[in-house]
Structure 1
Amino acid sequence: MQFIRGLHNLKNHAGSVVTIGNFDGVHVGHEKIILRLVESAKALGLPSVLISFSPTPQCFFGREQATLSNFKEKHQLLDRLGVDKHLLIYFNQTFSELKAKDFIQQVLLDKLNMKHCLIGDDFRFGKKRQGDL
């Protein structure tokens, strides 16, 4: 699995299948999404890309919560599950102010050329959690 640390290290893709989340630990629900991600990517002949954040938005905004696994454990599990690429985005003040539509355009479409996205039911993103897919 390729690890991409930061948006500045992300190269343009010819296409991808994406999931986005904190993935502070990989529980059964996360595992189901990840397995569907890998399966969908293989069916489309595209790389699977998992996007996560450091620190998590909850930690950044002062709502710290316990994690289920440390970074190394999470990375090893993602690799075992067959994820092709793990993009770790640094969550800072500037990123927290990025509007949902700008995240979609700048990251998901312009950089990753996303063709398909799998997310959890309660997933929200963008400034003030205004976006959903």
Structure 2
Amino acid sequence: MKIIKGLEQIHSIGDCAVTMGTFDGVHRGHHMLIERLIEEARKRGLKSILLTFDPHPRLFFGGAEKVKLLTTLDEKLDLLKMFDLDCVGVLEFNQALAAMSYQAFVDEILLNKLRMRLLVVGYDHGFGKGREGTFENLKRLGRQLHFDVLKVEPLVTGEHIVKSSTIRRLLLEGDVKKAAELLGHLYELKGKVVKGRLVGKKLEFPTANLYINDSAKLLPKDGVYAVDVKVIDRMYRGMLNIGFRPTVNHSTQRTVEVHIHDFSQDIYGKEITVFFKKRLRDERKFENLEELKKQLLIDREQSLKI
């Protein structure tokens, strides 16, 4: 899969089928859309191209306080590697792109630069200034400019339409298990290990305190979670706390710390990835450190069973 970053670098790799969007989370609904793109491209003898945007348009318009993301750009590109796409193009979402009409985007970028012959869109797709590039408008434009448009219907699982906003809500409610079902993979969080107050070490539960570099990355609801932890290229089991550590800390700063089971390496300064499996309990304040330690032993036992 070829990755091209920047509008000035976008070029034709041959007649192609295109899909585009933010693809935040690269969830199962996206999977269905991308697989349909690849299938149609092969049937028609076309190259398959996925276009995405960085930053997320809602971040551009509102900032990190307005929307929290399921995936950073690097995480998104890693997840897209599972598909047999010919090319992924990353376009900078800026004022010029925000002001461009859908007709101009289709004509100048999709047709002239990429030689698009087929556009595959989702059921709720809309792009261009005012999000006027809907399926119906694109169908009309396609008849004028001689390209086909195909719409992929939503993926519904149980009571949920699989979409990024639903997954964000589930994570904010702490339901990481259901979120993983809709994502098609465990929700992940990357962070750099930084020094903490070493209280966990005193309790015989040393923790890696994580600094999350991207302020737009969504943190699940405060509480204790069973997680898998990737350190370099090896996976471990662990338990993670998100919150304010009320028993040992009166700070108003939210923290993320993970205890890695059966692990003793020095990983200060290293980046690790945690994968959320299940929420175990709320964060709460204990009477003393001994009571906290008793609960941590229970948390450890539960997390090792998951």
Find the counterpart in structure 2 of residue 42 from structure 1: 42
The higher-RCO structure (CA 8 Å, 6+ apart) is: 1
The alignment's TM-score, normalised by the length of structure 1, stands at 0.92
Q: Does 1:29 align with 2:29?
A: yes
Find the counterpart in structure 2 of residue 102 from structure 1: 104
Q: Does 1:66 align with 2:68?
A: yes
Q: CA RMSD in A?
A: 1.4
8 Å CA contact retained: 1:5, 1:89: yes
Q: Give the alignment of 1:81-120 within 5 angstroms.
A: 81-120=83-122
CA distance in 1, matches of 2:72, 2:95: 24
CA distance in 2, matches of 1:120, 1:97: 22
Structure 2 residues not aligned, in runs of 5+: 139-306
Stretches (4+) displaced over 3 A: none
1:86-122 residue CA offsets vs partner (Å, 9 max, x unmatched):
1101000111111111001001110111111111111
CA distance in 2, matches of 1:71, 1:101: 27
Find the counterpart in structure 2 of residue 2 from structure 1: 2
Matched AA of 2:24? D
- Shift in Å, 1:12: 3.0
SS at match of 2:122: coil
CA distance in 1, matches of 2:34, 2:12: 22
CA distance in 1, matches of 2:121, 2:31: 12
Which structure has the larger Rg?
Answer: 2
Matched AA of 1:125? F
Matched AA of 1:22? T
CA distance in 1, matches of 2:50, 2:124: 17
Identity, % of aligned positions: 39
Matched AA of 1:24? D
8 Å CA contact retained: 2:37, 2:120: yes
- Shift in Å, 1:81: 1.3
CA distance in 2, matches of 1:55, 1:11: 21
CA distance in 2, matches of 1:58, 1:102: 21
Matched AA of 1:81? F
CA distance in 1, matches of 2:73, 2:58: 16
CA distance in 1, matches of 2:55, 2:72: 12
- Shift in Å, 1:79: 1.8
Find the counterpart in structure 1 of residue 169 from structure 2: none
Structure 1 residues not aligned, in runs of 5+: none
SS at match of 2:85: coil
8 Å CA contact retained: 1:13, 1:111: no
Single out whichever of 63-72 and 123-132 deviates more from structure 2: 63-72
Q: What is the aligned residue count?
A: 133
- Shift in Å, 1:4: 0.6
CA distance in 2, matches of 1:81, 1:15: 19
CA distance in 1, matches of 2:93, 2:20: 13
The alignment's TM-score, normalised by the length of structure 2, stands at 0.42
SS at match of 1:61: helix
More helix by share: 1
